[in-house]
Amino acid sequence: IEFKNKKLSVHIDNVTERDRQALFDRRKNKKEQKIEQSGVQKSPEEMLADQVTPLHTYEYQAQLELKQNGIIKSLRTFCDKMKESYNDNKSNYNSSWLKEECDFNLPFDLKPMIHSPILEGYRNKCEFTVGLNLKGEKTVGFLLGAYKDGLNTVLGPHDSIHVSDVAKKIVEAMQSYIEQSSYDVYDRRTKQGNWRLLTVRSQKCGDIMIIVQMHPQGL
């Protein structure tokens, strides 16, 4: 296989379920050791908040400034790449606009970030994982970490400030239904079980879309 003028070779190895589980456990242990070495002890709720709303510890104005600075950095990188392309004569387009200088040393005006009138419960679409919580109970919520790091625990969205009240009520109803169901939640490690995902989309007009995803095995 050729990729970027380099020849790549592919080797297919026979990986057993035990090998996959061992890799999963190693990643999980490595992640836990990293947390312990940091010296920062956080509750599961705090860890989830850091994951799904990474700027939640900042004041709202500071959040906007961080986002604006990120946009400025990305646009500067984009303009630098465009200049390199024009200098290498890779394009016949007129590049005069790149020579203009406006706000933040960019060749165009950048409007300020627009404040949101809603600071909580603003997410109109959420995708919830169905799995087991820290006590091994069936739960509908968010993964407490990345699956690639060996984390497979689910925590409910009760304290998640970005999830709307209507979505939280639907999660509670769905979790109650799953708890009484004879079908198990889907386990990403063993590939067993049925209940997988719940998607909720809500609109200002009151319309709500609900999608439930199940693995069909054994049904």
Per-residue pLDDT of the chain (219 residues; tens, 9 = 90+): 777 788 888 777 777 777 777 776 777 667 666 655 555 678 889 989 999 999 999 999 999 999 999 999 999 898 888 877 777 665 666 667 777 777 778 888 888 889 999 999 999 999 999 999 989 999 999 998 776 666 788 999 999 999 999 999 999 999 999 999 999 999 888 889 999 999 999 998 999 999 999 999 888
Say if residue 67 is in the same domain as residue 146.
Answer: no
* Nearest residue to 165 (alpha-carbon basis) of 114, 111, 123: 123
Range of the domain at 143: 120-214
Say if residue 126 is in the same domain as residue 209.
Answer: yes
* Nearest residue to 62 (alpha-carbon basis) of 74, 50, 54, 73: 54
Say if residue 106 is in the same domain as residue 136.
Answer: no
**Which of 86, 115, 144 is the endpoint of a domain?**
115
**Which of 60, 91, 115 is the endpoint of a domain?**
115
Provide the domain count of the chain.
3
Say if residue 58 is in the same domain as residue 21.
Answer: no
Say if residue 139 is in the same domain as residue 168.
Answer: yes
Say if residue 49 is in the same domain as residue 8.
Answer: no
* Nearest residue to 102 (alpha-carbon basis) of 79, 83, 82, 85: 79
In this structure, is residue 219 part of a structural domain? no
**Stated pTM of the model:** 0.76
CB atoms within 10 A of CB 106: 17
Tokens 């719940």 label which residue?
Answer: 198
Say if residue 170 is in the same domain as residue 133.
Answer: yes
**Which of 115, 144, 169 is the endpoint of a domain?**
115
